[in-house]
Structure 1
Amino acid sequence: MVPLVGFSDHLTSEKRHSLRTCEHYLRDLQRLVGWLTEAGIRQWAQVTSHDIRRYVATLSKEGLGGRSIARHLSSIRRFYQFLLREGVAQDNPALDIHAPKSGRRLPKVADVDQLNQLLEVNPDDPLEIRDLAMFELMYSSGLRLSELAGLNLDALDLAGGEVRVLGKGNKERVLPVGIKATGAVRRWLECRVEFVADGEPAMFVSQRGNRLSRRSIQARLARWGTMQGADQRMHPHMLRHSFASHMLESSGDLRAVQELLGHADITTTQVYTHLDFQHLARVYDQSHPRARRRTDAKASGSDRDLADL
């Protein structure tokens, strides 16, 4: 097997993919290498579409869902595009192979009351002031975890109520920041000087003055949720999902929500229309005078259908 180092260099230097994206590609391909080696296949040019179908079947038997298998196939297709360019392979065996369909999982969201309970606090501890600023900003602007962790001081215009973030594919977008979030960030900036030396660009830092890692942000939000009595485990993407769902409920403007989230394809954003429909359906069932009998009669089937979306 040809080493994967050349492909990794191709992703970072030519395609400008992030380190995390490259790690995902290589992890998927290393899993394929292990399977091919066990199958006695030693050269990339020997791999056929039949082999890739067998590999997909193996992944499915091992419990991977349709979306995960689709990601593996995407990695393989991208790798073979590179091999074709390098003259190592003559065709792309994964080109016309599709992952099995699986039920679409809806993202978990917190309702407005839950988020108010989570964020309507006034901490005195500097690290908790930092945490509140992070979580207010994520919910206010719908930031990804990586976008929040990578945020620098010069990205925020508190007077103008804007934040500039670098999203997937190194695409930059400017987002509005609400008054609650700007207030929380101002409080954190007053505390931040206790932890950092001049020249540190990161907006959110640890006790040691280093940029706060994604893992640390996840752990702090989980801890925050426990402290505030949240009835479900809190994680950063839940704040982003909640932002999207609440924006769509209020505005009904799918295109605007797509722009705010930084989705390249509107079909990615359309998952939130299902969440919006669930909210409307609950209101209908609770409010319409002739709805309750229908709901009672079909409750179990209705719940099952929503779970399978």
Structure 2
Amino acid sequence: MRRRLIKERVAKTKKKQDVTPYQGDEINIEEALEIFVRAKEAEGVRPRTIHAYHNHIGYLIDYFTEIKGVQKPFLDDLTSDLIREYITYQLTEKRRYEGEKGRKDKTVGLSPNTVNIRLRTLRTMCRFWYTEGLAAVNAMENVKLVRTDEQPEVPGLSDKQVQTVINSMDEKHYAEWRDKILILLLIDTGMRINEAVSLTLSDINFKDNMIVLSSERTKNRRYRDVPVSLDVIKLLLELNKESQEYFGSTEQIFLNAYGEPFNSDSFRKRLNRLKSELGMERLSPHMFRHTFARDYLLNGGDLFTLQKILDHADIKTTRKYIQMSKDHLRSQHKNYTPARKYLKRKPKM
């Protein structure tokens, strides 16, 4: 009787008459995920996002099997109470990077931001399963995201740090020379790392000193032109020429030691090793983007042009990107404080 009432309630809430009948006790979560993924693929969602969907639900299924002892969880098993228990587990018991090779950090408890990323994915899926008639209720409807303190954006690097990183590269080694040129490209253009590593000769407008990024390659699916310095273009051409001598004809700028396209994950790992060697606390590709944004403004660039270069839909995002160090703040204050003109004036007698 209870099942029939739930079916009737779900049916009454549907605006369409041809929705799939409720089957939460018949469809397991893995099957429900595949239905969701097929719908998103039809909408043109990118493969990287699809990969994230699988990962995020994989963590939930692991919780069902390893913690709750449910080997094949169904949609009916996904309730608001269980999701809240899952949130608490991630925040207090889950070990970071558990099961990942090469990761030494086994801190207990994931960050609220990491948990919220997974919850946003689950919220989208639960809404889809409910509206499609696959689930009797939207299990995430009344579940709130984890409250977080405001976190500073990823900081940029100081001039000294950038110089230290660049000087550590031995240009006699192909991989280190390639990394050095990639870093200079990131600092010169503020490009995202995935945009930079996929760069080809055809993307460079030599006449106008611009890099042309098609909408298929950008995060926000918007075509844009990115200004690039002539000196950096020369380095890119030099790298490509040497790559062709090693590996044969190729349009790709950044290659690995086997002549295959270099990727962002490999670059992150190389920076992580370099960070340890140099005794730095943090070093990531995104920090070069932040360094570009900060220095662009300090050198006299305007915020609206920077927004366009960085491909931000909202200028608030661009503002958040600008993290000034204490040294920068002191320097700017020293140069531009309005009090100076009054302090220099002598009072009239």
TM-score, reference length from structure 1: 0.77
Aligned to 1:218, which of 268, 278, 283? 268
| SS of equivalent residue, structure 1 residue 164 | strand
Aligned to 1:236, which of 280, 285, 309? 285
Moved more, 248-257 or 61-70: 248-257
CA distance in 2, matches of 1:224, 1:76: 36
Aligned to 2:57, which of 3, 14, 29? 29
CA distance in 1, matches of 2:248, 2:141: 52
TM superposition shift of 1:58: 2.2
Matched with 2:229 is: 178
TM superposition shift of 1:104: 0.4
TM superposition shift of 1:220: 4.4
Matched with 2:37 is: 8
TM-score, reference length from structure 2: 0.69
TM superposition shift of 1:163: 0.9
TM superposition shift of 1:280: 4.6
More helix by share: 1
Aligned to 2:191, which of 118, 136, 143? 143
TM superposition shift of 1:126: 4.4
Matched with 1:70 is: 116
From the CA coordinates, give the structure whose radius of gyration is larger: 2
TM superposition shift of 1:190: 2.4
Measured on the aligned residues, the alpha-carbon RMSD in Å equals 3.3
- Give the 5 Å matches for 1:26-65: 26-37=54-65, 38=68, 42-62=73-93, 63-65=109-111
Structure 2 residues not aligned, in runs of 5+ = 1-27, 94-108, 340-349
- Confirm or deny that 1:104 pairs with 2:151: yes
Matched with 2:315 is: 266
> Aligned pairs, how many?
285
Structure 1 residues not aligned, in runs of 5+ = 291-309
CA distance in 1, matches of 2:298, 2:177: 30
8 Å contact kept, 1:143–1:240: yes
- Give the 5 Å matches for 1:121-132: 123-132=171-180
1:130-152 CA distance string (max 9 Å, x none): 33322211111112221122222
Aligned to 2:298, which of 244, 249, 255? 249
- Confirm or deny that 1:81 pairs with 2:118: no
| SS of equivalent residue, structure 2 residue 297 | helix
Residues 1:252 and 1:177: Cα distance change in structure 2 (over 3 Å): closer
CA distance in 1, matches of 2:82, 2:164: 53
Residues 1:266 and 1:29: Cα distance change in structure 2 (over 3 Å): farther
Moved more, 128-137 or 146-155: 128-137
How many percent identity over aligned positions?
A: 23
